[in-house]
Amino acid sequence: MRITLLGTGSPIPDSRRAGPSTLVTADGVTALIDCGRGVLMRLVAAGTLPPFLNALLITHLHIDHISDLGDVITTRWVMSPGPSPFVIYGPVGTAEVVRLTLASLNADVGYRVAHHADLHQGPAVEVREVAAGDTFTVGSAQVTVGWTDHRPVEPTIAFRFEVGGKSAVLGGDGVPCAGLDELCRGADAYVQTVIREDLVRLVPSARLQDILDYHSTVQQAAQTATTARVGTLVLTHYVPAIQPGQEDEWRALAAAHFAGPIVLGDDLTFVDL
């Protein structure tokens, strides 16, 4: 199993980091988790073309995690050589977001169908809304859904992939909670979005300070990893962005609470399990 951090950025635009998105590949499975800005450029840089995506899994409906939803749907559709239904999993509310996204694409779809003789209809998208405790398969991978705490954003979920004897938990935004502990139990890897509380507090902005109560800090992610006895901790969605040369500083904050391998870095950083 390979986990690739396609986008390690946040809502704050960054010339070096795409928006939140992670790719899981294993045993013929190619799954995209969230689809922040610039995701398709990073997907191609990771060696995967949109038609090869088996599914998109959405952790929650904050715009930074779904801003390129229309691009993913459209590009996968027009690049596929034939009909290729696209399955999207997400929390309650995902179906409505996808419906409205497809509605916004109506003009573009009409233009393409009118111009290309081999296109007879728009993208085929199947939305499956899931909740904590649900399980489903993506190719050969077994996926379990867990509850996460990102209130007042709710529902928010995380996904545990199990395939080829390996397991990885893909967490979204949120603070530590019992649901996340249970989902991560014994996983080979745990991917978590994180913030640096010490650095955020230096910024005199009430709006930025507000993020502190519903995002995991680096230290909290490490504590969750230790509690759940996961193998490798993978950090992403850095707020503020990691500056060149700061990697060891971030890693040390996590290492104070977690003794295993800690992976972080630029877009396209990956870990093989």
Residues designated as active site: 64
Integer CA distances (angstroms), 37 to 22, 87, 223, 259, in order: 12, 20, 29, 33
Give the amino acid at 197. Answer: E
Q: Where are the beta strands (DSSP E) in the chain?
A: 2-7, 21-26, 29-33, 55-57, 86-90, 125-129, 135-138, 141-150, 153-163, 166-170, 189-195, 232-239, 262-263, 269-272
- Spacing of C-alpha 153 from chain mean position: 16
What six digits make up the tokens of 21?
């998105």
Integer CA distances (angstroms), 33 to 115, 127, 142, 255, 259, in order: 32, 14, 15, 26, 26
